[in-house]
Amino acid sequence: MRKQLTFLFAFAIFSSYLFTSCQKTPVIDEAEVTRIISTLASDEMEGRRTFTPGIEKAAEFIAGEFEKIGLEYMDGLSSYQQKFSMYSLRQESAEVSINGKAVASENLLVSVSGETFELKDVAEADIITVPAGTNFQAAFNEARRATGKRLVLVDPSHKNLFVRYKGFFNRAARAARVMELDNDNGMVMVVTEATSVKSVDIKVTNSVEENSLANVGAKISGKRANEVVVFSGHYDHLGIRGAEGDSIFNGANDDASGITAVLTLARYFKDSGKKPERTILFVAFTAEEMGGFGSQYFSKQLNPDEIVAMFNIEMIGKPAVSGPNTAWITGFDKSDFGSLLQKAVEGTEYEFYADPYPAQNLFYRSDNATLARLGVPAHTISTTPIDVDPDYHKASDEVSTLDMAHMTNTIKAISAAAVRIISGVDTPTRVDPTGLN
Ligand SMILES: [Zn+2]
C-alpha cells in the first residue's frame, strides 16, 4: 500500500510539473493497455508478419488509434502510414570466369543488389583475397559489408567453411530483400587457386519483385520543431508457422507490448492538452524481425541530428529479473540516457537498470541500433527475462502469459521518466557511432 502511494504521489508531481493547464486528466490505465494489446496480439492479426494481410490489419488498427487520439501526421505524409518498397531478388543465372577459366557453381557465392550485375573490366572491381591461414569469417563479413563491385578470391584451404557459408547464405538468399536496387553493388566470391586477376567476365541476372510495407507514425508538434523525442516499438512479428496445433505466432510480448506502450503514451501526452516544448513522434516500425528495415527507412526520412532521444520499447509484458517495478535499458554506457531516466524516477517505486544481459548484445538487436549508429541517444527499454523466457519467438507468446499490472506500471514509469527530456530540461549525450559495431 505504501509503495503504491509513494508512486502515485511522485507521479502527480511529474504530471503537474509538465501539464499546468490540463484539458483532460491524462491517464495510463490497465483496461486500456489490455484492450490494445489484446487486439494487436489477437489471432485475427495472424502474427503480423511483414508483407501479409495480418500486418496490414495491424497497421490500420494503429493508424485508427492515432486518429482517435487526434495526432498529427509525420512530416511530409498525408496519412499515418509511412509507406515504402522493398525488392525481393531471385537469382536466375550467374556466369563467372576468371583468367579465362569458367568457375563451377559449387565454388561460387553471389550476392548482388540489382536486376543485373556485370563485371568485365578488372579495374572496376575491388579484388579481395582470402589467403590460407586467415580468418575466413572476418574476411567474409568485411567483404559483405563493403559496397561497390567486389570480387573475393578464397584460397581452397577454406573450402569447407565456404561451403557452409554458401549453404546458410543460399537459404537466406531465397528471400533476399534490398531497399534499393543497385546494379553497381554486389559481391562475387570464388574459391580459386588464383591470387591475382588478369581478366574477368561476370554476368549475374536476378528476377525482381517489388513489395510494399509501412511504418505507422504520428506526431505532437512541440514549440521546438527541430528537437524531436521518439517513442517506438515494432509492430511486425513472425506470422504463421507450421500447420499443426497453434501455428499463429501472436507476438504479444514481442512486440505488441511495445506498441501498446507507444499508443498509450501518445494518448497520455496528447491528453495533457499542453503543447510540449519538444516535438514528439510515436512510431510503430515494420520489418524489425526481418532485419530492421522499417527503422532504416524511417532514419532516412528525417535529420537524425534533430532526434534528441529515442525510447524504443520492446517486450515489457513480463517482470524483469531485477524484480517487479523495474525495467532495464540497453547500451547504458553509450550515452547518459539511462542515468537520466534513473534520476527522473528517483523517489518513486520504479527503477531503471542497465541491461543485465550484455553477452546477448541486445543494444544491437532492435530498431534503436539504426538510430544509434547515426549518433542518436537511442536505447531499448525492456523487462523481459529473455534468457529463460519459454515463450520468446514461440507460438505461445500470448497475452495470457503477460502481467498487465506490471506492463501498465512500466508505461507509467516511462511517461514519468520522459517528462524532463520532453520539456527540454534534460538532453541526453549523443552516442559516439565510431565505438559501435
Ligand atoms: Zn522484438
187-238 pLDDT, tens per residue?
999 999 999 999 999 999 999 999 999 999 999 999 999 999 999 999 999 9
Q: How far is the CA of 49 from the centre of ligand 1 (A)?
A: 12
Work out the average pLDDT over 150-177. Answer: 86
Q: How far is the CA of 254 from the centre of ligand 1 (A)?
A: 5
Q: How far is the CA of 351 from the centre of ligand 1 (A)?
A: 22
Q: How far is the CA of 394 from the centre of ligand 1 (A)?
A: 12
- The answer to whether 211 and 123 are in contact (CB under 8 A) is no
Q: How far is the CA of 350 from the centre of ligand 1 (A)?
A: 23
Question: Cell numbers of 87, please?
Answer: 525488392
Q: How far is the CA of 51 from the centre of ligand 1 (A)?
A: 17
Q: How far is the CA of 273 from the centre of ligand 1 (A)?
A: 31
Question: Cell numbers of 12, please?
Answer: 502527480
Q: How far is the CA of 25 from the centre of ligand 1 (A)?
A: 31
Least confident of 81-95, 240-254, 304-318, 381-395: 240-254
Work out the average pLDDT over 373-382. Answer: 98
Q: pLDDT at residue 17 above 70?
A: no
255 upstream amide cis, omega within 30 of 0:
yes
Those residues whose C-beta lies under 8 Å from the C-beta of residue 125, and which sit 6 or more positions away, are 119, 149, 150, 151, 197, 200
Q: Which CATH class is domain 2-72+221-435?
A: alpha beta
Percent of the chain at pLDDT exceeding 70 = 94
Q: How far is the CA of 210 from the centre of ligand 1 (A)?
A: 25
What confidence score (pLDDT) does residue 38 get?
A: 98
- Residue-wise over 171-209: b if at least 16 C-beta within 10 A, else e? eebeebbbbebeeebbbbbbbbeeeebeebebebbbeee
Work out the average pLDDT over 362-391. Answer: 95
Q: pLDDT at residue 22 above 60?
A: no
- The answer to whether 150 and 128 are in contact (CB under 8 A) is yes
Q: What is the pLDDT of residues 233-254, one digit of tens each?
A: 999 999 999 877 789 999 999 9
Q: How far is the CA of 234 from the centre of ligand 1 (A)?
A: 7
Per-domain residue ranges of the chain: 2-72+221-435, 87-210
What interhelical angle do 53-69 and 30-40 show, nearest 10? Answer: 150
pTM score, two decimals?
Answer: 0.85
Nearest to 379 by CA among 412, 332, 318, 321: 332
Q: How far is the CA of 430 from the centre of ligand 1 (A)?
A: 24
